[in-house]
Amino acid sequence: MTKMNNQNTKSWQARISEATDAIAQEFVESISYDWRLYRQDIAGSIAHAAMLAKVGLITETDRQAIEKGLRDIEAEIDRDGPKWSGFKPELEDIHMCVESELTNRIGEPGRKLHTGRSRNDQVATDLALWIRDAATKQLPAQLVDLCKAFASIAERSADVVMPSFTHLQRAQPISAAAEALAWLQMFDRDRERLSCAGRGYQTGLPQSPLGSGAIAGSSLPIDPAFTASIFGQMVAPQSSIERTASRDQACDFVFACAMIAQHLSRWAEQWIIYMSTEFGFITIADRYTTSSSMMPQKRNPDMLELIRGRCGNVYGDLFGLMTILKGLPIGYNRDLQEDKRIVFRAHDTISQCLIMAAAIVNSANYDAARIEPTLERGFLDATSLAEYLVTKGIPFRTAHHIVGTLVARCEKENKHALSQLGVEAFNEVIATKSDLRVDAAIFDALGAKNVVQRYQSAGAAGGRPLEEQLKEWKKRLGV
């Protein structure tokens, strides 16, 4: 009988009587994208070999040969990337490509490596480790860069007063720095959400899938707690069935990416509006704009528009992953192979957008010369006037009615600002609701710049609270 020793023979080939059809082989391969798991796959295999040696299923000599062979393979992939010669589509995935190459190099010790494990718990472990790295290292670092960019523009814009908007209508005056810090707050919360996704949103330490086997564990005396301890901040699986079947962490991660995408899209939309001729609140570097093939005057915010557009791709990734999972019975199913395409794509989209967003923010400035000429339009100080009247003993609802009447009077008299009214006009309207009379001190509560300096509630968009916010963010970000 001829032994099956072809280096490209699949690990399960003995059970299947026919060679895989070429079309089917191309259809099932995943090495074209899951090669990106090579570091996690090799780290998992080294940990698994250490455990096998600890419990006496392989010798220390075997373990050393396995680790050296894997380290050599890792160094080659570090150098060659997806062009590494060991990536063979006929071997289907990263796990078999690495194991096959290892066995070719070191012989029998390589054939012992898969003792007590399955590709099912192997891929679940690799993906968990990959998500942990992406969610706690790379993407958070890019979010910090973006937060630093917003802190920087906040600092250089602290003296710029601008309108805020609700319903896209002018609302209350704010410092431009306050709006920048609002975006910073949003993206910092994304960083926290990613960190939770990296841990799998568990109250305790996340469970390592390694040791769960194909679904039911192993009759061999393996020690999953030992491999989990090697990974760090992980514990042994509590249910081998659940650990091989679950992709909750992938869903958490893609959801976190979708939230970042949403926040990036909202910010991009805001700045697209601010860059328009009608607003003119923001300028960004020309290198992050394009022009028109027909209209030579155009300066288009294409990079911001693409960030806004790519939000939809990440939303689609989240929906796609949830849809794949919705009908799966518990246990591993080959449908789960598709999770990596989605996770990697969502990650890559967000990573690219974060890099671009930080570059744009670092190049941007609020245009005070464009903002100030129309700053007093829209009665931005109306709420401040109502609150001033509250400090004089008038109930807020009454004060609200008084100021609304004053605004209507301004519009009737073609005045665009409350400060254009005299003290007599104020008292005339106030007299219809209260015995209070005001004097010229009322003008301290009027005008956008005065209002911004009067804010005193926690987190407010001006005054001392804003100074404290900026100081605290600079301290947290180390800038």
Contact (CB, 8 A) for 132 and 208: no
Written as six digits, the tokens of 459 are 């987190």
| Residue that the structure tokens 């050393």 belong to | 64
- C-alpha 18/C-alpha 14 separation (Å) is 10
Domain parsing of the chain, residue ranges: 22-115, 120-158+174-195+204-215+240-373, 375-477
Residues lower than pLDDT 50 in the chain: 1-6, 12, 15-17
| Residue that the structure tokens 């896209």 belong to | 168
- The residues near 466 (Cβ < 8 Å, ≥ 6 apart) are 158, 175, 177, 178, 181, 455, 460
Q: Which of 167, 219, 293, 457 is catalytic?
A: 167
Measure the CA angle with vertex 322, ends 318 and 325; round to 5°: 145
- C-alpha 46/C-alpha 67 separation (Å) is 6
The pTM of this model reads 0.92
CATH architecture of 375-477: Orthogonal Bundle (1.10)
* Residue 12, pLDDT score: 44
Written as six digits, the tokens of 406 are 């004053």
**Tens-place pLDDT, residues 300-331:** 999 999 999 999 999 999 999 999 999 999 99
* CB atoms closer than 10 angstroms to residue 238: 9
Q: Which of 239, 276, 292, 416 is catalytic?
A: 292
CA 463 to each of CA 185, 351, 426: distance values in angstroms, whole numbers, following the listed order: 18, 35, 26
Contacts 24+ apart (CB under 8 A), 320-324: 321/247, 321/250, 321/251, 321/254, 322/251
Written as six digits, the tokens of 385 are 């006037």
Q: Which ranges of 36-118 would DSSP assign to H, the alpha helix?
A: 38-54, 60-80, 94-106, 108-112
Closest by CA to 162, choosing from 147, 182, 148, is 182
- C-alpha 255/C-alpha 302 separation (Å) is 26
* Residue 2, pLDDT score: 35
- C-alpha 264/C-alpha 107 separation (Å) is 51
Could you give the dihedral angle defined by the CA atoms of residues 99, 103, 105 and 107, in that order, rounded to the nearest 10 degrees? 160
User: Is 167 marked active-site?
Assistant: yes
Options 1.10.357.10, 1.10.275.10, 3.40.50.360, 3.40.50.2300; CATH of 22-115:
1.10.275.10
The class of domain 120-158+174-195+204-215+240-373 in CATH terms is mainly alpha
Residue 309: which H helix or E strand, with range? Answer: helix 302-326
* Residue 420, pLDDT score: 96
* Residue 25, pLDDT score: 84
| Residue that the structure tokens 């992980």 belong to | 234
* Residue 292, pLDDT score: 85
**Tens-place pLDDT, residues 220-237:** 999 999 999 999 989 999
DSSP letters, 403-456, are HHHHHHHHHHTT-S-GGGS-HHHHHHHHTTT-S----GGGGGG-SHHHHHHH--
Q: Quick one: CA dihedral 187, 190, 192, 194, positive or negative?
A: negative
